[in-house]
């Protein structure tokens, strides 16, 4: 590395280990311009635990803490819990930030945690650079309550103004933050990514014939995949109904995921007479997902609330073209209509069924789109993410 290249010492504050973030931290730890330290407010997720979204006990089967420096900061909350404002009260963040000479602090812990505010105040008093990361792409809350949108409109500009740089994960996120009055030079697009190399490598090793045999589905059949928690905002019923309406010959629908709607979906599948053509795989862990994506012909994400949707990244990296609703945040950056996938109006079952009727039987078209999808992901990779982080650090420390 050139003597003139500055090496940034960066503290990363994260609520807990996440399967998507760990590969990025490993790459950042190896980068010649970065000297990182990850501070976790909780280690939830490292060991097996009940996941309320899936409705089952989950233990991620990929390493979450290997390959980068990290420390667990004691949680002083009387009721430790993710998803609760006072569930994370990590007082040790104050000393960690105040006593060490970090060039910048990147906070991935959301403002809806007390620990976020501990970190924010400590950074400001230390006069270090404060980079705030958000994956939001819309102001509309998931439960559609108007008072929450009103509150966001009032509070978010003030919160984002605390940061030297607001890091957003999508183009739609950048537009949202800018709409709140944050100048463009204070916003950095840091692409929301997964471990591209791992997904492509694993997908290339999949024995599609063997996987299809496990599903009791022939190689010549057309397979539509839904892979997400079976929650109401994911709208899995839309996919089932559109699949039934499309009625494509020799086609199957695979549901990969668990959640509270599974029983309803199974009952409706039976009532539609599709019990032999719809398969429920249940929860599928990370190391097995590539075989699911690779063995499907088309992936659909029908959510009415989806700030980004990293499952879209995963499917495309595995050569599976995608259909997403117009409420999925990744649609703008990843889904090129008719090239890497399709976008349809959320909740419009007829529009979704029409796309399925047109494309699901066309294996040649699907294969071409799958190849284009994987190629497109070169522009949306961990390496692009890290270079964006470095540019954000350069911008924040130069005062531009």
Instruction: Please report the domains of the chain, with CATH numbers, ordered by start residue.
Output: 8-193+381-398 (3.40.50.2000), 196-379 (3.40.50.2000)
pLDDT at 53: 56
Distance CA 354, CA 149 (A): 34
DSSP 8-state symbol, 360: T
> In terms of C-beta distances under 8 Å and separation of at least 24 residues, what long-range contacts does 373-379 make, across chains too?
373/315, 373/316, 373/317, 373/319, 373/320, 373/321, 373/322, 373/340, 373/341, 374/200, 374/316, 374/317, 374/318, 374/319, 376/316, 376/334, 376/336, 376/339, 376/340, 377/196, 377/313, 377/316, 377/317, 377/334
Distance CA 281, CA 265 (A): 13
pLDDT at 1: 47
**38 touches 12 (CB < 8 A):** yes
**In whole angstroms, how far apart are CA 101 and each of 36, 222, 400?**
12, 57, 22
For 11, phi and psi rounded to 5 degrees? Answer: -100, 130
pLDDT at 55: 57
Residues sharing a CB contact under 8 Å with residue 302, sequence separation 6 or more, in sequence order: 226, 234, 235, 236, 238, 239, 324, 325, 346, 352
**25 touches 67 (CB < 8 A):** yes
Distance CA 381, CA 392 (A): 17
pLDDT at 4: 66
What string of pLDDT tens digits covers the 400 residues of the chain? 445 677 999 999 999 999 899 999 999 999 999 999 999 999 998 876 655 555 555 566 788 999 999 999 999 999 999 999 999 999 999 999 998 889 999 999 999 999 999 999 999 999 889 999 999 999 998 988 999 999 999 999 999 999 999 999 999 999 999 999 999 999 999 999 999 999 999 999 999 999 999 999 999 999 999 999 999 999 999 999 999 999 999 999 999 999 999 999 999 999 999 999 999 999 998 889 999 999 999 999 999 999 999 999 999 999 999 999 999 999 999 999 999 999 999 999 999 999 999 999 999 999 999 999 999 999 999 999 999 999 999 999 875 4
pLDDT at 65: 95
Element (H, E) at 71: strand 70-72
Mutual angle of helices 208-215 and 286-294, in 10-degree steps? 90
- pTM of the predicted protein model: 0.92
């Amino acid at each position: 590395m050139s003597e003139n290249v500055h090496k940034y010492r960066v503290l990363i504050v994260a609520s807990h280990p996440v399967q998507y973030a760990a590969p990025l931290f490993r790459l950042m730890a190896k980068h010649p311009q970065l000297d990182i330290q990850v501070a976790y407010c909780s280690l939830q997720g490292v060991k097996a635990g009940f996941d309320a979204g899936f409705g089952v006990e989950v233990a991620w089967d990929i390493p979450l803490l290997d390959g980068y420096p990290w420390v667990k900061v004691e949680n002083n909350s009387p009721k430790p819990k993710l998803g609760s404002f006072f569930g994370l009260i990590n007082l040790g963040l104050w000393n960690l930030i105040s006593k060490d000479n970090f060039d910048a602090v990147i906070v991935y812990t959301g403002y809806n945690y007390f620990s976020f505010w501990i970190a924010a105040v400590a950074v400001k008093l230390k006069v270090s650079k404060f980079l705030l990361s958000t994956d939001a792409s819309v102001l509309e809350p998931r439960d559609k309550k108007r008072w929450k949108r009103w509150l966001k409109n009032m509070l978010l500009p003030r919160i984002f103004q605390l940061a030297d740089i607001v890091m957003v994960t999508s183009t739609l996120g950048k537009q949202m933050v800018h709409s709140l009055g944050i100048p463009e030079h204070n916003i950095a697009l840091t692409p929301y990514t997964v471990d591209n190399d791992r997904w492509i490598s694993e997908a290339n090793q999949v024995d599609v014939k063997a996987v299809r045999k496990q599903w009791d589905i022939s190689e010549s059949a057309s397979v539509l995949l839904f892979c997400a928690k079976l929650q109401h905002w994911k709208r899995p019923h839309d996919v089932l109904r559109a699949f039934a309406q499309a009625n494509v010959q020799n086609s199957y629908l695979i549901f990969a995921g668990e959640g509270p709607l599974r029983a309803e979906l199974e009952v409706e599948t039976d009532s539609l007479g599709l019990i032999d053509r719809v398969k429920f795989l249940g929860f599928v862990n990370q190391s097995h997902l590539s075989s699911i994506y690779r063995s499907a012909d088309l992936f659909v994400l029908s959510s009415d609330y989806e700030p980004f949707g990293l499952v879209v990244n995963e499917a495309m990296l595995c050569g599976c073209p995608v259909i997403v609703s117009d409420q999925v945040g990744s649609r703008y950056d990843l889904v090129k209509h008719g090239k890497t996938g399709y976008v349809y109006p959320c909740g419009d079952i007829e529009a979704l069924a029409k796309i399925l009727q047109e494309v699901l039987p066309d294996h040649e078209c699907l294969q071409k789109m799958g190849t284009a999808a994987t190629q497109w992901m070169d522009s949306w990779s961990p390496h692009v993410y890290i270079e964006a982080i470095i540019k954000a650090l350069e911008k924040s420390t130069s005062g531009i």
